[in-house]
Structure formats: structure tokens, C-alpha cells
Amino acid sequence: MAAWSALVLLLSGVVSLIVWICITFQAVVTPILLALLGAALLGPLYRRLVAMRLNKSLAAGLTCAAVFLVMGGAVYIVVTALIDTGDQILSSLQDAAQSLGERFEVAGTSLDDLVTYAKDLLGDFGGTALSGVMSGVSLVTEMITAGVLAILLLFFFLRDSDKAVASLHALAPRGSGQTLEAMARRAFQAIEGFMRGTTIVAFIDAACTAVGLVILQVPNAIGLAALVFIGAYIPYLGALLSGAVAVLVAFADGGLGTALWVLGIVLVVQLIEGNVLQPMIQSRTVHMHPAVVLVTLTAGASVAGILGMLLAVPLTAAAFGVLSEIRARYAEEEKAPGAEKQAGYAGGLPAEPV
């Protein structure tokens, strides 16, 4: 018990130190982690291009260009869809609030009083709003910088992966290079499996949602489906947020009836994902209980917000991969002495003392 307690304290200290370093150097750590996720997702494409006898630099460059085009196009479609329907959403919400205010007057407070109070509040805190806009511009700049750096790092991670393995052997203590390489490969395989499975599930969710929105004639159905695809990389919560946006757009365009139909489509898609797609696809790529996923998402959100939610699950999958590799090697070491002893008695002679 004392040994296990000391081990838990040691691991807790190491994890706390790693989290502190990640938070302190977030501007550098974030692009590195995003590049690792991209390398795990696009590794098969890069290897296929290399197998076609393309130069490694050219193959890595084409892979990064594909990332830029796909992600940039998805973000452009989503932003355009939200901008086009933003006025309709606000107008519909205002009409709904006015209708509710006419039917259910709470403590004699009318909608006009609330609007007047909101205008006074905005007037009092105009300077705060301006500072908020400036901080928002700074945040967008940081996101663009992190994205560019992540794509550049992705290029080098794909092209120089063999050099990274050689560097790992060079930096490892004597005799531990093979073990560290095996642990690193198992962690990367776990991340690769998570990203591959999540991408398949996200594509199916987006396709089903797009078909339903097109049938209901909801505007910007492709943009909303792209938002569902992007949100699927944040398990559970991402689908909830993207589905809520789709319901709002449907409510703004077609009223309450269309919004209810879209809500039904979103719920059916999520039921299919949770009961069919996730067990069938993710069970073959990464083994994590839903309770572990939820706890990991909460911890990631408390540490780094939305970015933490995006990175928490694949990093936890990598940690589970490392632990499984350590457990497998420990089991092999336990079996080795027994096997040697059994081999010594095989010929009728006593085993030689060690």
C-alpha cells in the first residue's frame, strides 16, 4: 500500500507538472498537439502518396494543402451560413419572446422594459464592450497564428517521422530506446484510431443531418452539416451545440414546426451514433468507457476551455495506450523466469543456477 501510494503521488506530481507546462506555454504546446492530431489523421494519406513514389517533401506538402483546403472550406461554409441566417435567428427569437411576453407576463415586466434596460446596460458598459471586441480580435489573431504554425509542424511531423524515431533512440537512456519507441508507437496508434473513428462517425452524422435538412428545405443545409462534422470531434457536447444551431436556423426560417422536425432528426442521428456507430466503429479503434470520456471532457474544459475539450479525449487515449504497452511488457517479464525454469527441466537435468 505504501508503494502504491508513493507511485500515485509521483504520477500526480508528474501530471500536474505537465499540465502546468502546457498552460504556461500554451502558445507553443497547442500547435504541437494539433499537428500531432493532424499527423495521426492524415498519416495514411501521406504514406499512400509516398508509396506512389512521390518525394517525401512533396507528399507532406500535398497533405498539408489538403488539410488547409478542407478545414478552410468547412470554416468558410459554417461562418457564411451563420452570417446569412444570423438576422433571421435574432428576429425569430425576438418574435418568440414577444409572443411569450404577451401570453405570460411575469411580475408585470413587459418586453419593452427589458429592451430599455438592456439599452441602458449597454450604454453604461460601452467601454467594456469595446475592450471585449479588442480581446476578440486578439483571440482571432492568436487562432490564425496557431493554425499556421500547426500546419507547418504537421509538414515536418509527416516528412521527418523516421528522424524523430532515431532522435528518440538517441535521447533515451541506455537500453530503453526500444521500450520508449514501442510506447510512443502505441500512443500514436491510439490517437490515430480515435481520429479515424471520429472522422468516420462525423461524416455519417453530417451526411444524415444534411439529407434531413435538405428534405425540410432548411437554408444553408450544407453549412449546418459542415458544422455538425466539425462539432463531432468534441464527443457528446459538440453534437449538442451543432444540433442546437441547426434547430435555431430551422426555427428562424420555418417556425416552430420545422424546428421540431429538425430537433427530431438531430435526436435520431445521435441515437444512431451512440447505439450503433460508436460501439461498432470506435470499439475497433480505441477502447474507452463513455464515463471516462465525459470525465475527460470536463477536465479538459476546466483546464483549456473548448480547446481542452478537443484535445482531452485523444490525449487520454494515448495515455491508455502507453499504460497498455507497459502492462504488456510487465506481463512478459513475469512470464519469462517461469519459462526459463520449465525449459531447464525439459531434458531431465536440473536447471543451472543463475
CB 35 within 8 A of CB 153: yes
Cα(135)–Cα(139) distance, integer angstroms: 6
Instruction: Tell me how far CA of residue 331 lies from CA of 8, 285, 319, 328, in angstroms.
Output: 20, 23, 18, 5
**pLDDT at res. 94:** 62
Measured between alpha carbons, how far is residue 212 from residues 216, 260, 348 in Å? 6, 12, 74
- pTM for the whole thing? 0.67
Residue 207, C-beta contacts closer than 8 angstroms, at least 6 positions apart: 225
Residue 317: the pLDDT is: 81
How does residue 101 score in pLDDT terms, banded at 50, 70 and 90? low
- At 45-92, the pLDDT tens digits run 888 888 888 888 888 888 888 888 877 777 777 677 667 666 665 666
Is the pLDDT assigned to residue 354 strictly greater than 70? no
What average pLDDT does the segment 273-300 reach? 70
Distance CA 281, CA 181 (A): 27
Give the number of residues written for the chain. 354
Q: How many whole angstroms from its chain centre is CA 294?
A: 13
Tens of pLDDT, residues 183-239: 888 888 888 888 888 888 888 888 888 888 888 888 778 878 888 888 887 766 777
| The pLDDT of residue 106 | 47
156-166 in b/e form (b: 16+ CB < 10 A) is: ebbbebeeeee
Q: Which residues of 286-310 are buried (b: 16+ CB within 10 A; e: fewer)?
A: bebeeeebeebbeebbebbeebbbb
pLDDT computed for residue 75 by the predictor:
74
Q: Which residues contact 50 (CB under 8 A, 6 or more apart)?
A: 56, 59
Q: Which residues face 109 on adjacent strands?
A: 106
Rg for the chain, CA atoms, rounded: 26
Residue 106: strand pairing partners: 109
**Predicted confidence (pLDDT) per residue in 144-160, tens digit:** 787 788 888 888 888 88
Cell 467601454 locates to 127
Percent of the chain with pLDDT over 70: 71
